[in-house]
Structure 1
Amino acid sequence: MRPPVADIADVVSFNADGLVAAIAQQHDTGEVLMMAWMNAEALAETLSTGRVCYYSRSRGKLWRKGESSGQTQALIDLRIDCDGDALLLLVDQSGVACHTGRRSCFYRAARPEGLVEIAAPEISPDALYGHTHNH
């Protein structure tokens, strides 16, 4: 049974653009997969369907994760931070989360020698989207 959407939306502090930061984490491993934005409509859809939906600032519309790539996120749990200005989405990620073809968007690490890629793509963006994709 899903929580009432209105109860959740009432405690979320959307920013001046009507958005809230949403961090996706793999529910069973704790791996942080990505950060994106949600507006009230994306949040409501996510809560009502159980399939994660974000808001794409670059496209100015809802972004149903996996719609073009097939790499979907099923919502397991949704948590709200103490200030209500960030969401933690515990998800079951199907395939990769990053548009670069990596499991996580957090594939670069600051090291003494500089920025180092710590994860290689698991699939090419061309294979994911059938064309060159700019996020």
Structure 2
Amino acid sequence: MTQPADVEAQLDKVAFNADGLVPAVVQQVDTLEVLMLAWMDREALRRTLTGGRAVYWSRSRGVYWRKGDTSGHIQEVRGVRIDCDGDTVLLLVDQTGAACHTGTHTCFDTDERDLLRADR
């Protein structure tokens, strides 16, 4: 991933919110399917950039979690981008297994979660 000398310069490009967090949208690298949304602070993003696997900050538990350490459903990071304002991170990953904590492939895959569908 990113070389250690470049990491701080890359992190300085990110506009973390007042809580020190940035939302991370996660996409499957080959299909571009949106898998999930999570939160990262500077350290989680640093660990992601240097370690090659996605690391997030759990707002509810107050701990870091590297995706897949307990479930085996890992996210190998293939790319990291920020949006035009620098206040959202996009992770392009190669997902193994389910991305959602409910056990589904993506957190956005069931019809009952549809608020509006383009095909209706």
1:28-107 matches, cutoff 5 A = 28-107=30-109
Structure 1 unaligned spans of 5+ = 113-135
CA displacement 1:6-56 (0-9 Å, x = unmatched): 111101000111000000000000100000000000000000011100000
- Return the alpha-carbon distance in structure 2 between the equivalents of residues 83 and 12 of structure 1: 8
Runs of 4+ in structure 1 over 2 Å off: none
Alpha-carbon offset, residue 110 of structure 1: 2.4
Q: What percentage of aligned pairs have identical amino acids? A: 58
* Structure-2-length-normalised TM-score: 0.89
Structure 2 unaligned spans of 5+ = none
Letter in 2 for 1:109: D
- Return the alpha-carbon distance in structure 2 between the equivalents of residues 111 and 46 of structure 1: 33
- Size of the aligned set, in residue pairs, is 112
Letter in 1 for 2:58: S
Give the CA RMSD over aligned residues: 1.3
1:1-20 matches, cutoff 5 A = 2-3=2-3, 4-20=6-22
- Return the alpha-carbon distance in structure 1 between the equivalents of residues 115 and 15 of structure 2: 31
- Return the alpha-carbon distance in structure 2 between the equivalents of residues 67 and 59 of structure 1: 16
Q: Secondary structure at the match of 1:110?
A: coil
Compare relative contact order (CA 8 Å, sep 6+) and give the higher one, 1 or 2: 2
Letter in 1 for 2:102: T
